[in-house]
């Protein structure tokens, strides 16, 4: 049996059993959030902007559903020091913006969880923002 006919038989068998031969979609682990600016000024109504990237392609991912966010001072050992964070419209596709009051200088941890359309699983990330007076 030659190599080509064997490959065709394997492909037909895989298709019959619903086994993907070569999936074009990314693994959920291939996605990550990235801060646009990791240093901000302390104060009310500060905007934190993140991008969701496909690490394999380097392209931003629009239309993700971010369903969980938390902003606290865990990097400085004060995870109980949390602040409310509110989503606001993004400036460009794949960009996600949030408003928060950053009442204290230090390192703030921004935790996010999102669903990417067409992918199974959840993208989870923790980013550190440095806040100065």
Tens-digit pLDDT profile for residues 108-118 = 999 999 999 99
pTM, two decimal places:
0.79
Does some domain include residue 11? no
Q: What is the pLDDT of residues 62-91, one digit of tens each?
A: 999 999 999 999 999 999 999 999 999 978
Q: Computed over its alpha carbons, how large is the radius of gyration of the chain?
A: 21
Does some domain include residue 116? yes
Task: Quote helix, strand, coil % in the chain, to nearest 5.
Answer: 15, 50, 35
Mean pLDDT of 110-129: 97
Does some domain include residue 7? no
Q: Find how far residue 104's CA is from the centre of its chain.
A: 26
Q: What is the pLDDT of residues 19-66, one digit of tens each?
A: 444 344 579 999 999 999 999 999 999 999 999 999 999 999 999 999
What residues make up the domain containing 55? Answer: 26-132
Does some domain include residue 17? no
Does some domain include residue 5? no
Name the more confident of 128 and 25: 128
3-state DSSP assignment of residue 70: strand
List the structure tokens of 41: 């000024």
Number of structural domains, the chain?
1
Q: How far apart are CA 49 and CA 69, in angstroms?
A: 13
Supply the pLDDT for residue 10: 55
CATH number at residue 86: 2.60.40.10
Name the more confident of 47 and 1: 47
Going by their DSSP bridges, the two strands 43-54 and 31-35 should be labelled as antiparallel
3-state DSSP assignment of residue 7: helix
């Amino acid at each position: 049996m030659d190599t080509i006919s064997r490959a065709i038989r394997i492909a037909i068998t895989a298709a019959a059993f619903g086994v993907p031969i070569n999936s074009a979609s990314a693994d959920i682990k291939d996605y990550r959030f990235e801060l646009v600016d990791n240093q901000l000024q302390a104060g009310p109504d500060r905007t934190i902007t993140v991008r969701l990237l496909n690490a394999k392609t380097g392209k931003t991912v629009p239309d993700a559903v971010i369903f969980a966010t938390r902003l606290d001072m865990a990097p400085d050992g004060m995870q109980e020091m949390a602040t409310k964070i509110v989503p606001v419209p993004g400036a460009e596709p794949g960009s996600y913006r949030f408003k928060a009051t950053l009442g204290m200088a230090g390192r703030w941890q921004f935790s996010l969880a999102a669903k990417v359309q067409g992918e199974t699983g959840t993208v989870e990330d923790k980013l550190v923002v440095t806040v100065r007076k």
